[in-house]
A and B are shown apart, each in its own frame.
Chain A
Amino acid sequence: AQSVAQPEDQVNVAEGNPLTVKCTYSVSGNPYLFWYVQYPNRGLQFLLKYITGDNLVKGSYGFEAEFNKSQTSFHLKKPSALVSDSALYFCAVRDMPEEDGANNLFFGTGTRLTVIP
């Protein structure tokens, strides 16, 4: 069975400092991992994904995430936080085996990032 854990409900970071939003996962097959951001009263916006290849994935707005198979983690990072990065961040994993052909996502509970000016 699949699962996604975001251990921190809230992350606070000062503007200009590096930020990390943590995510760990559990799937039976190959993990397909995604990060989405949700601004207040808005839908989710795609940030980045890992399918195969380089473990360091670069995405939108200067975000990146590192896939670590041994630790089953896919932490979201940014070298220098902006106040405008304050939002709700969701980690997601595809939960179906390749043969199934489906592509629905299973989401973590979200982490609220607050960047303090």
Chain B
Amino acid sequence: GAVVSQHPSWVICKSGTSVKIECRSLDFQATTMFWYRQFPKQSLMLMATSNEGSKATYEQGVEKDKFLINHASLTLSTLTVTSAHPEDSSFYICSVLGPGQGIGETQYFGPGTRLLVL
């Protein structure tokens, strides 16, 4: 499968600061990337779909001004958690849509970033 990296793997920050998480597709150029959030003992919730060269599409209930997504190149998408608060503490996972053109193309996931806001 495809290799997807995320950086950092974990971060601890003070409340009110901003944190940037990078997601990189190492094997191929990715037009579409996804950002998920996973709470302890819960499933993954899609936050937004990131398309290279255009604005991200956010899911209902996700604050676009708080979770800034930038898909500046075909191999890099960034998620910035602005003015982070303790309730933003979570495991953030990005995924990359595979290079094929099929309708059921596979998503490949990064290793995740654990964010702890104090």
Contacts and interface: CB of A to CB of B under 8 A. Distances in A.
Interface string B26-64: 000000101000000011111001000000000000000
A45 B104 contact: no
Contacts of A98: 103
Interface stretch (B13-21, B73-81, B82-90, B109-117): B109-117
Contact of B107 (A51, A103, A109): A103
A107 B44 contact: yes
A51 B108 contact: no
Contacts of A67: none
Contacts of B32: 103
Interface residues of A, number: 23
Contact of A43 (B103, B104, B106, B109): B109
B112 A42 contact: yes
A102 B32 CA distance: 9
Contacts of A94: 104
A93 to B, nearest CB: 10
25 contacts: A32-B103, A34-B106, A34-B107, A41-B112, A42-B112, A43-B4, A43-B6, A43-B112, A44-B95, A45-B109, A46-B106, A46-B107, A46-B108, A46-B109, A49-B106, A51-B104, A90-B44, A98-B103, A103-B105, A103-B107, A105-B34, A105-B46, A105-B107, A107-B44, A109-B43
